[in-house]
């Protein structure tokens, strides 16, 4: 009896929600009849939740770019209108937000999400609704390329992909630092670090170098001395340490204490003020990272961006996520202008044809896998501060 009642209740409530949903969809479609002089762009970021700092940084960059473009008269005379949603750092929320943006708000393109996982969650919707999806900072290769090797037609990214950083680091080690024997000490718990380590090894060996030690650690470890002792006994003249700042900070400190003085290098996972606190400024001397860009880069485009960003944000220097968010808007603007239309399919084709577009985080050419081929910046730590070292082209 109770069971029966419950089923009825469930049925009734499901029906009711259905009606509600119908109503809200109907309501928005009337208001969604957008006027022709506005380009609606959805922004789907991690504005709250565990990785909120990435999403918020991206969003600030996006907003700055839109403000600039609108002040300068918009794209072909049309102003950009942002529709901002928060995916709460959750894949399911990211999907819901993408459904809302494409069906209710009928946006021309979506910028987001900040992380690879939350972007992949929207990929299917972007392809089905033929809406361009552009992630500023999702670095995993499988954001744009599916497991079977097919490319997600409508999905693009502004950042370089993970393995690329390993390649750049290997070229830098072999070329600029003249390293012959390198060791790799990678975080075994992260795909990011494993991707970097694999591409580093491949490129370094191709350049004639030798990998003398390959060791791994697990995130949350605190004692790296025994493994470092082992690495030291192999006498490498360069150590590649892909991983995140929490462990890397300790590794760098402990390595220097053990008397390892050779150059150490890692990827953008090192980029955090916490790294300097953990390792100590002195231990970080003679270490290098690959990153999306450097605020100290003398390049004019970058310096203009840094200046306007500081003006709008109380003097705070823009980080890589700000730069990538900013660039995403300009990448889209360029594609819309070349497409000469706000039709998503045409924008998609134009995006895929992007060549040598000068942006803050590098000069971008989109390849057939929708990965941007772009310059990477190599930074050096000097007394706890990152110093622009060089730019490396792929």
Partner 1 sequence: MEWVQQLINGISLGSIYALIALGYTMVYGIIKLINFAHGDVFMVGSFIGFYAITGFGLGFVPALLLSMAACAVFGVLIERIAYKRLRNATRIAALITAIGVSLLIEYGVIYVRGAQPEAYPNVFPNATFDLFGAKISSQSLFILLISVGLMIILQFIVHRTKIGKAMRAVSHDIDAARLMGINVDRTISATFAIGSALAGAAGVIFGIYYTKIEPLMGIIPGLKAFIAAVLGGIGIIPGAMVGGLVLGVAETVVSALGFSLWRDAAAFIILILILIFKPSGIFGKNSREKV
> Which stretches of the chain bind partner 1, using CB under 8 A?
188, 215-218, 220, 222-223, 225-227, 229-230, 232-233, 246, 249-250, 253, 257-259, 274, 277-278, 280
Q: What are phi and psi of 252, to 5 degrees?
A: -60, -45
The CB-of-193 to partner 1 minimum distance in angstroms stands at 13
For partner 1, the closer CB: 75 or 276: 276
Q: What are phi and psi of 257, to 5 degrees?
A: -65, -30
For residue 91, count CB atoms less than 10 angstroms from its CB and return exposed for 0-12, middle for 13-18, buried for 19 or more. Answer: middle
For partner 1, the closer CB: 176 or 221: 221
Sign, CA torsion 8/9/15/16: positive
For partner 1, the closer CB: 188 or 365: 188
The CB-of-318 to partner 1 minimum distance in angstroms stands at 22
The CB-of-246 to partner 1 minimum distance in angstroms stands at 6
Q: Residue 128 corresponds to which tokens in the numbers above?
A: 């089905």
The CB-of-218 to partner 1 minimum distance in angstroms stands at 6
For partner 1, the closer CB: 186 or 331: 186
For partner 1, the closer CB: 191 or 257: 257
Residue indicated by tokens 């697990």: 218
The CB-of-383 to partner 1 minimum distance in angstroms stands at 15
Strands 38-45, 79-86: pairing is parallel
The CB-of-49 to partner 1 minimum distance in angstroms stands at 14
The CB-of-229 to partner 1 minimum distance in angstroms stands at 5
The CB-of-389 to partner 1 minimum distance in angstroms stands at 25
Rounded Cα distance between 54 and 319, Å, is 10
For partner 1, the closer CB: 156 or 185: 185
Sequence-separated (6 or more) residues with CB below 8 Å from residue 391:
297, 362, 375, 376, 377, 378
For partner 1, the closer CB: 279 or 339: 279
The CB-of-225 to partner 1 minimum distance in angstroms stands at 4
User: Can you give the length of the chain in residues?
Assistant: 394
CB 45 within 8 A of CB 60: no
For partner 1, the closer CB: 126 or 186: 186
- Looking at the DSSP assignment, which residues form a beta bridge with residue 83? 42
The CB-of-292 to partner 1 minimum distance in angstroms stands at 24
For partner 1, the closer CB: 110 or 260: 260
For partner 1, the closer CB: 196 or 213: 213
The separation between CA 309 and the C-alpha centre of its own chain, rounded to angstroms, equals 19
């Amino acid at each position: 009896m109770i069971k029966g009642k419950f089923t009825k209740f469930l049925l009734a409530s499901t029906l009711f929600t259905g009606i509600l949903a119908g109503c809200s969809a109907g309501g928005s479609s009337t208001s969604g009849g957008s006027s022709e002089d506005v380009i609606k762009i959805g922004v789907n970021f991690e504005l709250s939740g565990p990785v909120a700092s990435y999403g918020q940084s991206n969003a600030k960059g996006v907003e700055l770019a839109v403000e600039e473009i609108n002040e300068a008269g918009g794209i072909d005379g049309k102003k950009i209108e942002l529709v901002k949603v928060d995916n709460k750092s959750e894949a399911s929320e990211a999907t819901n937000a993408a459904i809302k943006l494409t069906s209710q708000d009928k946006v021309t393109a979506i910028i987001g999400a900040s992380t690879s996982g939350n972007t992949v969650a929207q990929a299917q919707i972007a392809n089905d609704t033929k809406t361009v999806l552009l992630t500023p900072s999702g670095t995993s290769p499988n954001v744009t390329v599916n497991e079977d090797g097919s490319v997600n037609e409508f999905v693009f990214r502004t950042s370089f992909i993970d393995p690329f950083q390993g390649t750049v680091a290997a070229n830098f080690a072999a070329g600029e630092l003249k390293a012959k024997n390198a060791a790799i000490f990678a975080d075994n718990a992260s795909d990011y670090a494993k991707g970097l380590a694999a591409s580093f090894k491949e490129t370094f060996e191709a350049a004639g170098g030798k990998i003398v030690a390959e060791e791994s650690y697990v995130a949350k470890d605190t004692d790296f001395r025994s493994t470092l002792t082992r690495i030291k006994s192999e006498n490498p003249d360069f150590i590649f340490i892909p991983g995140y700042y929490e462990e890397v900070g300790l590794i760098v400190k402990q390595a220097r204490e053990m008397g390892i003085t050779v150059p150490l290098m890692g990827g953008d996972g090192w980029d955090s003020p916490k790294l300097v606190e953990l390792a100590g400024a002195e231990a970080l001397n003679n270490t290098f990272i690959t990153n999306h860009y450097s605020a100290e880069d003398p390049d004019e485009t970058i310096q203009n961006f840094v200046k306007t960003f500081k003006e709008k944000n109380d003097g705070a220097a823009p980080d890589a996520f700000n730069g990538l968010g900013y660039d995403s808007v300009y990448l889209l603007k360029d594609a819309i202008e070349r497409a000469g239309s706000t039709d998503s399919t045409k924008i998609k084709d134009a995006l895929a044809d992007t060549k040598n577009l000068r942006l803050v985080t590098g000069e971008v050419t989109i390849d057939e896998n929708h990965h941007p081929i772009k310059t990477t910046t190599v930074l050096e730590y000097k007394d706890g501060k990152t110093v622009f070292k060089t730019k490396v082209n792929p």
